[in-house]
Amino acid sequence: MASVLKKQLEQLVSSGNDVHFKGILHGIEKEGLRVDGSGELSQIGHPVGLGSALTNGDITTDYSESLLEFITPVFEAPEEALNFLEELHKFSYQHLGEELIWGGSMPCHIKDEADIPIAHFGASNVGQLKHIYRVGLEHRYGKMMQTIAGIHYNFSLPDDFWQALQTQQANTESLQAFRSASYFRLIRNFRRHSWLLLYLFGASPALCDSFLEGKNHNLETLHDHTLYLPYATSLRMSDLGYSNKAQASLNICFNHLNTYISSLHRAIHTPYGAYETIGTKVDGHYKQLNTNILQIENEYYSDVRPKRVAAPGEKPLHALQQRGVEYIEVRNTDINPFLPTGIDSQQAKFLDAFLISCLLMSDDEISDVECDMISANLDKVVSRGREPGLTLETLNGPVALTSAGDDILQQVKMTAKVLSKLHNDDAYMHCVTAQHDKLNDVSLTPSAQVLKALKESGLNHTQWLLQKSTEHRQTFNLSPLPQTVQHKLTEQVDKSLNAQAEIEASDTLNFDQYLAEYLAS
């Protein structure tokens, strides 16, 4: 794979086409629970000062009414996306009263699963659809799983780059087909190597014992109400807290766009016995949208997704099928509790170099055997990633995690060198050096630092994260928002509230008809 990447980079540089890397587009989506001053999940509705969760494109909710989701616009420089993310936090704190935005991926103490409020999106048909989908998630997986928060990193390359790469590879497909196939190449290599991201950036090695109340698990007790695994990196990315047997049967390994679409389409239209037992509309109330393996595409949980912005009313799969892959969404990023926004520019720049490397590596497909190895390696790293002497499975036999990680980082370093020269900035090279340091010294990983802080503080998981969340609020409040940003975000709030009212006033179908037409489309 290293030789393939090296050759592709050399050809891009020699032709001057590496300049198109300057046109990389970034967007960040970040979730965060609202909690009260004692670290308990907020029971207050989505603040009206943040606008409509249905129509505000900057600030919305995810599963729970208490789970904020910040969405940045698309920017060329990752720093710009991070700055906007910071501004969304600052703006939100103007409307949260004494509440805090939780600073970690695993949730605060939750007395009872029933206390988790499901998000509401108003009385419109589309708002009811979004709410009932979440009710379905409750019945299928339980509410607790839906309080986990993370960061999604959206990444795309400009058309000029794709045209140059297509010429370089002497590819004769349409640009749309070439771009989609190339994004799937990136995704396949991402899945092969994404375990390294969990080792380097995983920040959830512990959790509050209320998360697993009444459930069987293999976690150890750290101290008061805190469970952990001594070598875990990212319990968020493990299967703790929910059962996903239905999805396990899908066996999607992302070799081609058409097989990806057909697999998800089949899942959306295939009944599943356990969900049929739940029922759809029972005693006049919807329990889920349907009884199939997936209610809609978004229910499929994956650490990376091919994406395409859909038109209003258009299904995501249809958008992908008609117009191809537009960008990819990296979904395995934990919130780093030591950082106010949960992610910084060093991590973002490393992700850029990592993703470009995945794009330009080997185009080999993933076999069923390798697909199983990928899953097994991810399971190992989330629960045992910092274990001394840990080995991972490969098609050529077991390899030490440190050796496999060094091999990947050597390749990412080649890409970082190109990016640093292009931007006349050593930051890309420094970000790879910082990850090498973590590989050589496990104590530098966020997961090790979280456990160290928990042990040294004597605080339990909720108390410690409450302390960090309070510190982050103080950081955000140190400086006011620029007036131009304040005005823009306030205007967006007003527009979103008006837009929701207009949508609700324009509905002509009752919800039963609307749902039937939506599912049939």
pLDDT at 499 over 60: yes
Pair 371, 351: CB distance under 8 Å: no
218, pLDDT greater than 60: yes
Where does the pLDDT of residue 241 fall: very low under 50, low under 70, confident under 90, or very high at 90 and above? Answer: very low
DSSP string, 68-134: EEEE---BSSHHHHHHHHHHHHHHHHTTSTT-EE--SSS--B-S-GGG-PBP---SSHHHHHHHHHH
Of 75-84, 236-245, 268-277, 450-459, least confident by mean pLDDT is 236-245
User: What's the mean pLDDT in 487-501?
Assistant: 98
Per DSSP, the residues of 203-247 read -BSEEEGGGGTT----PEEEETTEEE-TT-SBGGGS-TT---HHH
Sign of CA dihedral 436, 437, 441, 447: negative
- Cα distances from 58 to residues 83, 229, 490, in angstroms, run 13, 36, 11
pLDDT for 407 beyond 80: yes
Encode pLDDT of 31-58 as tens digits. 999 999 999 999 999 999 999 999 999 9
What pLDDT, in 10s, does the model give residues 434-474? Answer: 999 999 999 999 999 999 999 999 999 999 999 999 999 99
DSSP label of 60? E
**Residue bearing tokens 């089949």:** 266
What pLDDT band is residue 291 in, cutting at 50, 70 and 90? Answer: very high
What amino acid is encoded at 62 in this protein? Answer: D
Domains of the chain: 2-503 (3.30.590.20)
Task: Give me the pLDDT at residue 244, please.
Answer: 61
User: At residue 283, does pLDDT exceed 50?
Assistant: yes
The enclosing H or E element of 29 equals: strand 25-35
Please give the mean pLDDT across all residues of the chain. 95
% of residues, the chain, pLDDT over 90 = 93
With a pLDDT cut of 70, the percent of the chain lying above it is 98
Alpha-carbon distance of 29 to 152, in angstroms, equals 5
pLDDT digits (tens, 9 = 90+) for 368-395: 999 999 999 999 999 999 999 999 999 9
Residue 432 pLDDT > 70, yes or no? yes
Q: Alpha carbon of 297 to those of 118, 119, 137, 213: distances in Å?
A: 19, 19, 13, 30
Q: Which helix (H) or strand (E) holds 519?
A: helix 511-520
Closest CA to 39 of 111, 109, 118, 143: 109
Kindly report, residue by residue over 163-183, the tens digit of the pLDDT: 999 999 999 999 999 999 999
Q: What is the pLDDT of residues 74-89, one digit of tens each?
A: 999 999 999 999 999 9
pLDDT band (50, 70, 90) for residue 404: very high
* Average pLDDT score over residue span 209-220: 92
Phi and psi based region of residue 182 (left: phi greater than 0; alpha: psi -120 to 50; beta: remaining): alpha
Query: What are the distances in angstroms from CA 351 to CA 78, 95, 304, 328, 358?
Result: 10, 32, 13, 12, 10
Nearest to 465 by CA among 335, 345, 346: 335
pLDDT at 149: 96
- Band (pLDDT 50/70/90 cuts) for residue 224 is confident
